[in-house]
Amino acid sequence: MSPETLRDLLAGVTALTWQSALMMAVGLLLIWLAIAEQYEPLLLLPSGAGALLANVPLSPLVGEGGALTALYTMGVENELFPLLIFVGIGALTDFGPLLENPKMVFLGAAGQFGIFLTLLLALALGFTHNQAASIGIIGAIDGPTSIYVSNLLAPELLAPITVAAYSYMSLVPIIMPPIMRLLTTKKERAIRMPYSSRAISRRTRILFPLVVTVVVSVLVPFATPLIGMLMLGNLMRESQVVERLTGAASNELANVVTLFLGLAIGSTMVGERFLRPETLFILALGLLAFCLDTAAGVLFGKLLNLLSGGRFNPLIGAAGISAFPMAARVVQQEAAKEDFDNFLLMHAMGANAAGQVASVVAGGVLLALMGAG
């Protein structure tokens, strides 16, 4: 065997670097978390696979003509994949609890404060304005919004921001409860709030996505793509005349796009670009943004408790983030620990639905502040 032939056979081995080996291990870790721990498996599994395939030495899947690079170019660079996912989210979301109790919209707004506080801290740590805004949006706990905003403002940080956003989404039941218990008393957590369901007319349900789209788009034009796609999916759901489109958007389309998005994001987790000190800062700041958003929601809930004469359970404020419906379920679980018969789920669902809309608006506000389009 000639030296040239041997060199060609061992090209992959000789091209292996410690960075690529470590990122292949990270990819395997993401796959393990998705399978063994079921942490956001729909995205973490394909993301882990994408990271693994992208870091294989001399991988033909990345670079010019590579399949993973093509997925990134056609679906992430132009923000197509996140927007299509928003159609699916809208088709799955029932805004009925919010329409029954519109004041919950204030809790959705309060649940975004951590985004802007983290932005200021990131600026203080030396990140650029665009990078700081992209890091702050992790606090919305809304993966598609984080991808959309960071790809426009700081595409070089897209991979760590995506990993942080979806990882923290999966850790909602772990991260939120200690903050909720720290900021509330046993008596506050045990407050009962009677729930009486009232019928929301079909006309109101149809008008809601249309009105929200127009109002938000006029006030925050940069949020138009996000809110427009979210409300399009919801309009299809509530119109009840395009069941096939609604079913396809919430199932086949959402699943296929999530697969492609995960592979595309994973392919950007190349060792030389991902393994930098700033990655750890992004993960830490993203966690801080999440914690601050949860705390802000609970504190605003305590304010409503004060204004209502002690009749409002502050735990509901924690559901004002965008992690729908996980945050609402956590609120119900924490309330049940103090009083098993205390049913707060529908109140929390209203706040959670408001958080879904508020996170999109927050993303648009950040884009407007940074002058991106």
Report the chain (373 residues): mean pLDDT per 10 consecutive residues: 62 73 91 88 89 88 88 88 92 91 90 90 93 91 88 90 83 90 94 83 95 94 93 96 94 92 88 82 91 94 93 93 85 91 90 91 91 63
Backbone phi and psi for residue 315, each to the nearest 5 degrees, phi listed first: -55, -30
Q: Give the closest residue to 239 by CA, choosing from 90, 86, 98.
A: 90
- Upper half-sphere CA count for residue 232 (Cβ side, 13 Å): 14
pLDDT confidence of residue 10? 56
Rounded to the nearest 5 degrees, what angle is found at the Cα of 190, between the Cα atoms of 300 and 307? 35
Q: Count other C-beta atoms under 10 Å from residue 334's C-beta.
A: 22
Cβ burial of 124 (10 Å; 0-12, 13-18, 19+) is exposed
Angstrom distance (rounded) from CA 209 to CA 215:
10
How far is 123 from 97, CA to CA, in rounded Å?
A: 37
- Identify the DSSP state of 79: S
Please report the pLDDT score of residue 59 as a whole number. Answer: 82
CB 336 within 8 A of CB 126: no
Tell me the whole-structure pTM to 2 decimals: 0.86
Query: For residue 32, what pLDDT is reported?
Result: 93
AA letter at 250: S
Burial 21-59 (b: 16+ CB within 10 A, else e): eebbebbeebbebbeeeebbbbbbbbbbbbbbbbbbeeb
Helix (H, G, I), strand (E, B) or coil at 269: coil
